[in-house]
Structure 1
Amino acid sequence: MKALDPKTGRTKDVIRIVEAKSAAEASAKRDDLRRTEEASSGARTRERLGDAATSWMRSKLPALRASTRRTYADVIDLHIVPRLGDYYVDAITPDDVVELRDEWSAQTVGEGESARPISPTTVNGRLRVLRQLLADITHDLGIRDPAARVPAVRVPKPKKRKGLEAHELRKVLEVLRRDYPQWYAITLTLALTAQRWGAVAALEWSQINDARGAILFDRAHVRGIVDEQKTGAEVEVPIVEILRTALAEHRRAQLEEQAPWLGRGLVFPSTTGTLMQPSSLRKPLAAACTKAGVPVISPHGLRYTFNHLAKKVTTGDVARSITGHVTEEMTTHYDWIGDREKQRAVAKVAALVHPTSRVARGSGSSGGSGRGRKNSAR
């Protein structure tokens, strides 16, 4: 028989096997089933998620960065509406959200031998958009949110640290300056300003103030769209002498080349004068790391590196004023505990337990043993 789907309000085929003693009784039972199915579908004026999502995006647009608008639109149009767009909002269940999340997790990217599972981070990014969408819509409708308690996909913790120690970064910069000089200035800028790739790639010469000795980062690009920084804040970072010299050499090379795109004013344009993508630096940076004999990091790893090294020489508030982190938790997220820090900690604990205790030779720390001898002398 035909009936209305309670989730979409559209006609569907319903197959039920019932026992009946006659054709008349079977017809009566069929009519009862149809009425039951139609009653469960509720009023036909309920809002579908696809329509609600369109209204939601219109209300959100003024408050979103251009790159964020594009991300939201892509996730909603390509991954949410095709699957749940026809569902009535009040008919969506937690099971529907879980099923969609798991469908995303089962997807692959690439073709043939290069095909690989979609990353948990990508799945969770889509889920965050769906959660925000449903949270706002269900709040306005005064109904329960089906995505509120749906957990994200577990993201495996990285086995390797994402940044470098000071001596490792020094080696990488030396290799870049010697073997890949065209990538030296941008790598040094990323390493000594702690800015995201989008902010450095969108940097213009007019933002470098030699009189103040600082660089103003007030914009960034995501996939070629230039907008305000991720947090909306402007960050001014001092120029140290080594960076000033590298940028001056980089500028002289640009002027000597006299490329057609020189008038655009970008500090680090692509070879065609457009905004560079992070993939541009990945290969030369990885090659430099390998030659230097240090862990391979991504361009974003230079931000992790600055955060980690700044912790050793300044306060968290000062570090956040440069990195642009909004919270202490985010600063902590970008940090890791180095071997020497752990060795010093163990040595200090051992000195408390046994004042003559000395840290093992070759640990790179003498603080614990020195303090132990001082306590012993007293």
Structure 2
Amino acid sequence: MTAAGGSPRRRGRGEDSIYRDGNRWRGAASLGYGPDGRPVRKKVSGATRDEVVRKLRRLHEQLDASLPPSDDRLSVGAFLDRWWSVNLPGQVAPSTLDDYGDMIRLHLRPALGRRKLTKLTVSDCDLLWQAKREAGYSPHTIRMMRAVLRKALGQALREGLVPRNVASLSAGPGGVTAEGRTLTPEQAQALLGTVRGHRWDALVTIMLAYGLRRGEALGLHWDRLDWTAGTLAVSQSVKRIRDYGTGWSMLVVSELKTARSRRVLCLTPELLDVLHHHRTRQGEERLAAAEAWQDHGLIFPSEVGTPIEPNNFTNRLWALCRRAGLGHWHPHELRHSGASLTLAQGTELHVVSEVLGHTSIAITKDVYGHLLEGQPRAAAEAMSRALFGRQADPPGRGAEGRASAAPEPE
């Protein structure tokens, strides 16, 4: 660095420095002072002096825009770990935090963790979704992976660590949600016949009747049951969550996450009778447990009043289904069966969506829309009768019957 007359000039304090280091050019920029009062300098390198000058200029532009300088060393894995442990707690429910941690640990970190955050591309995301599809993962699971990464990169974008959210720009997984198995009315009756008199008689009946999630059913409370009005509020859930800091897991009863999932069920006299018998049986268990009983106010607790371990219920349900001659059925398939059987009785989709606690009717239609294929035809027939005064077709005389009965053109 020389002055106008050609003599060397000392670089001013805080000015950028550019120098050659072997075959590379390097530069350092002063970015002010850190929280500890010490100067903060950022180093860059390039194949040419002009490249270093451009990088230094970009650093100052970021500083002028109140953005932090990009960290080319920060990996996607390190950022996801920091986002999950520092930024996410308090924003979501503990169970959701647990689910996000699983998604990061099992899918995002192994595939993208070693890439630099600033170098992550839309193509990287698209290739990951493609690999997961080829590995047999469902569209729903891949959508969850993309949603977690999109939310994390949204934080990076707000902090100025990345110029755009590449997960949002990636192609979302297509495909229709696979249709789950459902019990037929005969199978449902066989299951209820098998559990009749069992301590989980009422639990299985309520889950099947309303399509409750496993945790929701285990979190039902007596004080949310109005015997006079015949209603039961669904507001809490039993879940096992993990603390990744300590490695311990614990069973918790927590409030449901969304307003749509918190709902009120209308009970029929038959179901109220089932719950009356269940309460009598629970009173007997409480007397038998004596001082060991821990009252949590749960409708479906363990034999000593504590919340039931969800996996224990799953295992017991498998045994009950096998005893009923149905084979292996998961609690979530009871939910799917309850919804399907309700729709088969002609219940409107929006009502079923409310009973299930779906966040939107679009989710209900996505999962159960195939059960409503006859409704467009019925709607067209009703409109035709209204416009043309035609009576309803007798059985076996639909559009095809009319076409075959019409006279042939001359």
**TM-score (norm: length of structure 2):** 0.62
- Taking only aligned residues, the RMSD between alpha carbons, in angstroms, comes to 4.4
Structure 1 residues 28-62: Cα deviation after superposition (integer angstroms, max 9, x where no partner): 98447974299689579424353586368655444
CA distance in 2, matches of 1:136, 1:355: 62
Q: Where do residues 245-284 of structure 1 align in structure 2 (5 Å cutoff)?
A: 245-258=273-286, 259=289, 260-271=292-303, 273-284=305-316
**The structure with more strand, counted as a fraction of residues:** 2
Residues 307 and 331 in structure 1, CA contact (< 8 A), matched pair in contact too: no
Residues 254 and 262 in structure 1, CA contact (< 8 A), matched pair in contact too: no
Structure 1 residues 267-287: Cα deviation after superposition (integer angstroms, max 9, x where no partner): 212356443344333344344
Q: CA deviation at 1:220?
A: 1.4
Unmatched segments (≥5 aa) in structure 2: 1-19, 27-44, 60-68, 241-250, 379-393, 406-410
CA distance in 1, matches of 2:199, 2:130: 44
CA distance in 1, matches of 2:144, 2:235: 25
Q: CA deviation at 1:332?
A: 1.9
2:355 to 322, 342, 345: 322
Q: How many pairs does the alignment contain?
A: 319
Q: Where do residues 281-296 of structure 1 align in structure 2 (5 Å cutoff)?
A: 281-294=313-326, 296=328
**The structure with more helix, counted as a fraction of residues:** 1
Deviates most, 187-196 or 325-334: 325-334
Residues 238 and 252 in structure 2, CA contact (< 8 A), matched pair in contact too: yes
Structure 1 residues 262-313: Cα deviation after superposition (integer angstroms, max 9, x where no partner): 4222221235644334433334434444454557532112222222233224
Q: CA deviation at 1:188?
A: 0.5
Q: CA deviation at 1:136?
A: 4.1
Q: Where do residues 213-252 of structure 1 align in structure 2 (5 Å cutoff)?
A: 213-223=230-240, 224-233=251-260, 234-252=262-280
Larger-Rg structure: 2
Residues 218 and 300 in structure 2, CA contact (< 8 A), matched pair in contact too: yes
Q: Where do residues 28-107 of structure 1 align in structure 2 (5 Å cutoff)?
A: 30-31=23-24, 35-36=46-47, 45-47=69-71, 48=74, 49=76, 50-51=78-79, 54=82, 58-76=86-104, 80=108, 88-97=116-125
CA distance in 1, matches of 2:283, 2:110: 51
Structure 1 residues 168-222: Cα deviation after superposition (integer angstroms, max 9, x where no partner): 31121112216xx122211011112332211111112222221222111111133
CA distance in 2, matches of 1:340, 1:124: 26
Q: CA deviation at 1:68?
A: 1.2
Deviates most, 96-105 or 264-273: 96-105
2:151 aligns with 132
Identity percentage of aligned residues: 23
| Partner SS, residue 303 of structure 1 | helix
**TM-score (norm: length of structure 1):** 0.66
| Partner SS, residue 63 of structure 1 | coil
2:330 aligns with 298
CA distance in 1, matches of 2:237, 2:196: 26
1:198 paired to 2:218: no
Residues 314 and 330 in structure 2, CA contact (< 8 A), matched pair in contact too: yes
Query: Residues 168 and 356 of structure 1: is their aligned pair in 2 closer, same or farther, counting only changes over 3 Å?
Result: farther
Q: CA deviation at 1:65?
A: 1.7
